[in-house]
Structure 1
């Protein structure tokens, strides 16, 4: 079984829960274990929030779009969030954030919740790509698991 979807979203805070709900709905329909779905939805939320906050040329929410693509392929889910911001001159260091920090925990959370994480610049015109994947577990009698 293989499914994928892609969203082009405005760089606005209201787009983040939309992406999260779509992912959770697709995973529930496919029969993905709820704990795995939850981990991936939190990681997606953090990646989308970063795209909204940092992923454009103007002030937050005033310009640009970002893209979310999710692939459920066999036993793995891969998610990519691509923005149109300036990208990085150096890859970001992912350091544990202070417990009381209100910002700066997103990439660390993504790393903790996913099996593999890659953060880099989008080829060509700039922007950042945050991609992560996780091995899937299925519920008993999952409807979309390949036999």
Structure 2
């Protein structure tokens, strides 16, 4: 199924801010592990960082507008969040993160720079974004049952 750029995802469709944030945090936790593990994993870490920030921005839009667009460009999503001011450094980070989305398809002609120093900036930016959420949603997010995700129960069995 191909989703057009004009497709919108809505609360009426069952999407919730808490679910989007839950996924965002898990993508970002995974990115952190990969950034810290080994440089071979930086591409995956960068891609997951982009995805995590994308989910945060879409949760913000869902909270404010009851919907979010089916686009992946962080710059486009930010334009809809006009009241959130960004520093020049944060704007540069958004542009860099948008490049990270392309890390899923390697193209030596359009190499994308990524390194372990990127994580600290990403993490600081995530904290900045979370502070922009309404306090009520921040509190609700803290109470999320981490064993339930996306309508399913997450089970973990220890290996012997």
Fold match, TM over 0.5? no
More helix by share: 2
More strand by share: 1
TM tier, smaller = 0.3 to 0.5
